[in-house]
Each structure stands twice: as C-alpha cells, then as structure tokens.
Structure 1
C-alpha cells in the first residue's frame, strides 16, 4: 500500500486522500496536467482519481443539485476532469417518485431532457478550473432507429459540445420493474447506423450491461459479446465491470477470466470501475483484492475510474466525497504504471485525444 497513514486510520475518515497533522500538499490544478508538472508523490498526494468518467449531473426525476455546485464538489477533491452524464432514462415529468426502485410499475423511459439541461448549463456555467466532457445519454438500445436523427439534432442545437455517448442501458435488471427491457440480439444488429456515426466522430460509448445475476451468473453475457463482435472498431466502455446489485457472489477468478478474455479479444474495449458495489461486494472481500490488483496492473491501459455519483438534490458534497473515496480505494494498491494510467488520467486523455498528460509517478524514497 502506498499511503502515508495506516489503513485503520484511513478507514475511519471520509477523505479523498491521505491525512496529515500539518498542511497537506495543495491539490493539483487543471493546468498542471498540460505537461512538465512535478512527479506525483503517492506518499503525500491523494490516491483518489483525478478523472471521474462516470458522473451523473442529472438524476432520474430532474430535481438536481445545481450544476455549479457539482463543479464545486470536484474542485474540492482531486478531480479535474469529468464526464457530464445525464441520466437518459427518466421518470415521468409529472411523477412524484424520486427513486424508481420504490415505485415499481412507474416507467423509466429514455429521453433527451437531461442532456439538453446539461448542455445549456455547460454553455452558461463552463468552469475554468475543470475539463468537462459532455455525453449523450438519451439512446434506447432496444429501439435504436431514432438515434442517428437525434444525434443530428444535438449537433444542430449544440454544435461541437458532445463528445461521448452513455451511460446507456443494454440490460439493467434494476429497472425491469419499471418497464425497461433488455435489448434483443435483433436490436443490437440495428445499432449499425449510430455506431458508425460514433466511430466517424471518434466518440466512446459507455454501456451498462449486467453480466448476469446470482442465480445465473452469465445470463446476459451473450448480449455484450454480440455487441463487441458486431462493432469491434467502436470504443466501447463496459460500465461497472458488468456487475450489479443483482450479482454479488460471482467468484473473482471467474469474473476476471471473463473480462480478460474479452479485453484480449477486443482491443477497443475498456472497462470502468465506477460504482461502490465493486469495492463493497468484490474488491474488499477476503482474498479478492490481490486478484483484482493483478488484473488492473496487467490491463493498466484499458481501465477508467468513476464515482457513479448521482446529483440528486438529496445528495451533497459529503456523499460525493465518500463515493469518490470508496470507488478509488483500489487505486492505492496498484503499481505506479497502472496508477498513472488509471488514477492520474492517462487512459482518459488518450481515449479522447486531449492535450493533457498524466504526471510521472515519483520514485519511491
């Protein structure tokens, strides 16, 4: 472990980096990632990621934390780069429900509403000290035919503003009681139009696709395999390593074997390690952490970090700080190469061809 205080102390504090009795080093600025910055000292600087590739600025019911306030949250932590996700599947505008899990039968349907609010906020409140990448989250993967025309609408209304697609749902079991249905194999063949458009624009797409559940661990794996086989030239990011609350008991070795096989087979596939379910149910379980650390060290250039924080008005900075800390906890165990590529953002910069670079990690003293 490469941290400056004992783990027992860290576990008792909700902080985004190492704790000091005197003055901690200043958090790095956005400009410091332009190149030529001092090496990153893992013994004194935070282990939390500098990029949050999976951050929902908008919630399911539209009652969001103000855009500027979410940006303030990032500025108070190590994060300097973030994907601005909406949530493409929203509750009805006239619904009193705020948590779809507590409202079975209430539809959670794809819509452009959140994306357009995010775009308007970006134009009005674009921060100087953060680099934000706006993402299209409206796509219904089980009804993909309108997607290309809607992408054209986005480009007409907000030219040059969107550079990502997702998080979009291939299969999300948590929403089955809210009229969501998994995309079928036939549906996936109909993605060709918008996947070609994404490829032409060089936009990544983040796909939520549950691997399976505790009763049938790989039930939905064939859907993701088909998407990868049909669109191998697209930059596809598999959200949450394919895991979910419906699947908490998949043996780590089996999970890693599936991911390794697909990463080896499809060079444009990446995975994100967002959502605290990974730390709570997998990484922190007895004997699992070394397996996942070895996996991430091996595939250091294929992994993206993220909090999966949802800016619902009932949340606050302390919630964001905790989610960032929990989802970054695995990072402090990585070797220096993996830490630089994942935590310090090198994978993200290369994926989007950004004019930024991760600092080198200081040699251990």
Structure 2
C-alpha cells in the first residue's frame, strides 16, 4: 500500500508540474499577460501565503535555498513567515512534540533573521512579503513596543503579521496557553495600529477538541467582533489534528456564517490536514468546492511548509501539490482569485494582476 501511495504521489506531481520551463516568471504577472491555460499549466498556486522560512529550533534551510525551492515550482510570490514560538536557543530538541515540558515561547529571533536575510539576499525574480510572527496573544502588552523596535531596525520592511497563536493545542505541553477573552480585549492597541497600516494578521485558532467541535470558536468570534476593521486570516480554516471529527456540513456552515458576518475575515487553506482529512473524504469534495467558489474572494492558498534544515525540495514540492489539489475543481473565477493570486494582490494592494483563465 505504501508503495502504491508513493507511485500515486509521483503521478500527481508530474501532472501538477509539467516541466520547469512552463512556470511563469514574476514579470509575467503584469497587466495584459497571456491567459492561463488550465489544461496545460499547473494547478498549484503562484503564491504561497503561509511559508515558514524559519523552524522552531532555528536550524533552518538557508534562505537562498528556500527561494530556489520556489523557483522550481509555480510559486513566484510568498509570505516570509518565521515561527514566532521557538524552542530555547541552546535546547537539543528539534521537534517540540517529542519534547513535552520544553517551552516553546514567543520570541523575535526568527523575525530578525528573516529580515536580515531578505535585505542581504533580496531576489529579483520573486516577490517576498516579510511577516512579523513574535506576538504573544495571551500577553499582548508589549506588542506595540516590539513593532516600533522593528520599525526602527527595518523601517517599512514588515507588511504582515502572523502566523500567531490564539489557541494551538499542539503546544499545550510546551507552555503555550490559549488567549483568554480578557487577553483579547487587550489587543486593542496593536490591532488599531495594524488597521491603520492596513496590515493583514494571520491567526492560528483551533476550532475545537475531539469531544467538543466548537470549544474554542467563541474566542475567534470575540476577536472578529472586537476588531472588525482588521483584515484577519484564519489559518487552516480552523482545523487541527487535535480535532478532526467536525462534519463538513457543520464546518462549512460555521465558516459561511462568519464570512457573511465579518467582511474583513479571510481563510487560508494551508496545511495538508485539510486535504488529507476533509477535502478528500468521500462526499466532502463537492461541498468544499462549492463553498470555495462561493467565497472565492476571501480565500488564500499556502503550503505551511517549515524550513527545517533536513527538509528537501521534494518535501516542499509535495506539500505545495497536496495543499493545491483542491484548485483543480474550482471554477475559473475562484481559480484566478485563489491559485493565481488575485486575492493576495488585492489584499496587499500590489501592482500585479492575475491572468485571466483561457476560454475552453
């Protein structure tokens, strides 16, 4: 069975990546570019809005090598996330899941390394957006001061915030605590600053637990209610490995209601947990495709790849393909908005344009 799965993966990758020569250049995403032929060009996204250039332990694939990974795929635009919650600098732990009790706490370390690397190795053939990931949403009082420190050290360089954790059960054994309703009210200062800067914020917020599918939903609802002017991206559509039993119908109903209620809410469909446990399940695909088509101007793609030092290009290639598999089934408008990056360009007000999809 494992051998057959390996063969299937190689076949899917071959379909998604016809040949390196067919990938579009950064310059091609200008007004008036040739239409996009969905029969001949890949279904993987041209923008990776959820890409961790730095890992939890700081031992990363070199910055330029990650960029080389992008060049070998369809991706020409990416968010440069660190990971804001890191293991202790001198810890021998590489995977916090195997080190219960070892703290994984918010820090500026990864952001500063990313900023220095971006300045030194700015690519001309990729468009990279630097994100600040340091924020501790359960202890938000210092956030504004640290943002000002970033402004002094790297003025104008950071244009996004996140991924930051509202509640992430996977790190409960590593000293992470969920933000409380009181904590969320204390976000007001930095949320006002983000709104003034028109800066998007990506939040990781688990929807619930196995025994209560919506246990943590009120936290996200409170954040959206208190800060309606902020562009908030809910990472992974709220799904995590700690809770995989919410039905597609209930999940879609929750998200649809929130999207209709809060016009500045976006979702990202990063992380293969969605494809593996939701999109691909029998009877689910059509429901999620209809949902994504309906709200196609509020959806962002992403791989959720983490640049651990030993992660090879093939790992990134596979994550990009798996998280982009749903794109094949979208209608042309949704495909252009999501996979071809128009939502991302609009969100950041970039002077790039997604190509129109060719008429079939």
TM-score (norm 2): 0.97
More helix by share: 2
Displacement, 1:24?
Answer: 7.5
Displacement, 1:215?
Answer: 1.1
Residue equivalent to 1:4 = none
- Aligned counterparts of 2:255 and 2:340: Cα–Cα separation in 1: 22
Tell me, what secondary structure is at the counterpart of 2:177? Answer: coil
- Aligned counterparts of 1:185 and 1:16: Cα–Cα separation in 2: 47
Tell me, what secondary structure is at the counterpart of 1:310? Answer: coil
Provide Cα deviations, 1:264-283, integer angstroms capped at 9, x if missing partner.
00000000000000000000
Tell me, what secondary structure is at the counterpart of 2:322? Answer: helix
Provide Cα deviations, 1:262-312, integer angstroms capped at 9, x if missing partner.
000000000000000000000000000000000000001000000000000
Does residue 1:36 correspond to 2:26, yes or no?
A: no
10 and 340 in structure 1: CA distance in 2 versus 1, 3 angstrom threshold:
farther
Tell me, what secondary structure is at the counterpart of 2:210? Answer: coil
8 Å contact kept, 1:136–1:166: yes
Residue equivalent to 1:103 = 99
201 and 17 in structure 1: CA distance in 2 versus 1, 3 angstrom threshold:
farther
Provide Cα deviations, 1:113-152, integer angstroms capped at 9, x if missing partner.
0000000000000101000000000000000010000000
146 and 295 in structure 1: CA distance in 2 versus 1, 3 angstrom threshold:
same
- Aligned counterparts of 1:25 and 1:249: Cα–Cα separation in 2: 42
Provide Cα deviations, 1:297-335, integer angstroms capped at 9, x if missing partner.
000100000000000001010000000000000001000
Number of equivalent positions: 355
Residue equivalent to 2:13 = 15
Does residue 1:55 correspond to 2:51, yes or no?
A: yes
305 and 15 in structure 1: CA distance in 2 versus 1, 3 angstrom threshold:
same
Runs of 5+ consecutive residues of structure 1 not aligned to the other structure: 1-7
Residue equivalent to 1:314 = 310
TM-score (norm 1): 0.95
Tell me, what secondary structure is at the counterpart of 1:328? Answer: helix
Does residue 1:344 correspond to 2:337, yes or no?
A: no
8 Å contact kept, 2:234–2:268: yes
Tell me, what secondary structure is at the counterpart of 2:140? Answer: coil
Does residue 1:234 correspond to 2:198, yes or no?
A: no
Displacement, 1:13?
Answer: 2.5
Does residue 1:324 correspond to 2:314, yes or no?
A: no
5 Å matches for 1:39-188? 39-188=35-184
- Aligned counterparts of 2:346 and 2:276: Cα–Cα separation in 1: 30
Tell me, what secondary structure is at the counterpart of 2:48? Answer: strand
Tell me how large the CA RMSD over aligned residues is.
Answer: 1.4
Structure 1 moving runs of 4+ over 3 Å: 8-12, 16-20
Displacement, 1:9?
Answer: 8.4
Match of 2:200 among 200, 204, 210: 204
